[in-house]
Amino acid sequence: MRQFILIYFRQRKKQNLLLLLFGVIFSVVFWLYQLPAVAVVYPILLLMLVWAVFTGIDMYKSYGRYTFFLSTSKKCGLELSGDMSADREPDRVVENPDWDMFQELLEKQEDSVDWECAFYRNAVSRLLSERREQLDAIKMWNQDTVDYYTTWVHQIKTPIAAMRLMLQEDTEDSRKLSAELQRIEQYVEMVLTYLRLGSGETDYVFARVDLDKLMRECIKKYAGQFIRRHLTLDYHTMDCQVLTDEKWLAFVVEQILSNALKYTRSGSVSIYMEPPCTLCIRDTGIGIAPEDLPRIFDKGYTGYNGRSDKKATGLGLYLCKQICDRLKHTITARSVPDEGTVVCIGLGREVLETE
């Protein structure tokens, strides 16, 4: 309470000095006209009484705001003590401020007086400064992480390539090991893709892409698995070009092909186009349960099939959705359990007919 009284009267010293000056002027005027002392004392007493009443009411309201700011400042991550004048900053700012509570405090700024304005200036300055420092630290940490895993991915590709050379012998065991090695490569690329998407700085290069060429290169990577699983590939030639990023679209296609092969024990995988420009990949696998279908693109969601497989991460389709959103493509899925799944990638209206 003592701290509040000091702050209150210090902030209103100009008004109080002005009031005192008026009292002196009235006293001098009354004295010059040689009025009785009672005529001078009574007006001064009445003036002091009115001043005391209005000051008391104003102090009561100001004290309510003062206690509100102290309690709210602690909730939003500030602890204030001592002077809160315009040239003094809060004593310290604790970590993890409650930004919603701080926003609520700022919305009450309209009726603030001088000491409250000082509070806002200091609080906003300190919090924004700390916020910038935190964002810079997070950005630096993210960049270091991406740089580390980028280096790790390139380093791990060397022993993977060496192992692939060792598995050139055409035996059943070598084919199985090659398939598992391909899965390792896919997981490595998935790690790097996940980190790059989270960093906010992705090397998108939009250009005219021959869709047929891109699809054939993706299919070639999984040719061994088609043969080993005795699955039929029904591929329809795609005589069109699309405006997209070839590398990122290839990642999406490879991920969908991988899922199709993983969950298709027998039958076929069909790849075709639907008008106006929608790439469809259909399999005759185990399908997706109706209750899982709306959530298959959610981060970390594996569903019934993922729980039965026990190796699913729930990141593959999530990354596909994130990439398609950033490329301004759409991705949807429809499925019937035990009959198969169709994943459709809408490549937009930027279709360029080949000559």
Please choose, from the candidates 261, 217, 264, the residue with its C-alpha nearest in 3D space to the C-alpha of residue 238.
217
DSSP SS3 for 274: strand
CA distances (Å), origin 176, targets 172, 186, 231, 257, 309: 6, 15, 16, 18, 18
C-alpha–C-alpha distance, residues 73 and 123, integer Å: 9
pTM of the model: 0.58
Structure tokens at 153: 């991915």
Helix (H) or strand (E) holding 244: strand 241-244
CA 116 to chain centre: 33
Are the CB atoms for 280 and 343 separated by under 8 Å? Answer: yes
C-alpha–C-alpha distance, residues 151 and 83, integer Å: 52
Helix (H) or strand (E) holding 149: helix 114-166
Are the CB atoms for 315 and 190 separated by under 8 Å? Answer: yes
Mean pLDDT (the chain) is 78
pLDDT digits 0-9 by tens, 97-114: 444 444 455 455 445 555
pLDDT digits 0-9 by tens, 52-67: 888 888 888 877 777 7
DSSP string of 306-339, one letter each residue? HHHHS---S-HHHHHHHHHHHTT-EEEEEEETTT
Residue carrying structure tokens 């591929």: 235
Instruction: List 342's β-bridge partners, or say none.
Output: 282, 334
CA distances (Å), origin 309, targets 255, 263, 313, 335: 16, 9, 10, 18
pLDDT digits 0-9 by tens, 231-276: 999 999 988 889 999 999 999 999 999 999 988 988 999 999 998 8
C-alpha–C-alpha distance, residues 352 and 121, integer Å: 56
C-alpha–C-alpha distance, residues 140 and 147, integer Å: 10
Helix (H) or strand (E) holding 174: helix 172-199
Would you say how long the chain is, in residues?
355
Query: How many C-beta neighbours within 10 Å does residue 345 have?
Result: 23
Preceding amide of 276 cis, omega within 30: yes
One pLDDT digit (tens) per residue for the chain, 355 residues: 676 777 677 767 777 788 788 778 877 887 787 777 777 777 778 878 888 888 888 888 877 777 776 776 666 555 544 444 434 444 444 444 444 444 455 455 445 555 566 666 666 777 778 888 888 888 888 778 778 887 888 788 888 888 878 887 777 788 788 878 888 888 888 887 877 776 665 678 889 999 999 999 999 988 888 888 889 999 999 888 899 999 999 999 999 999 999 889 889 999 999 988 899 999 999 999 889 898 999 987 777 665 565 566 678 899 999 999 989 899 999 999 989 999 999 997 544 444 4
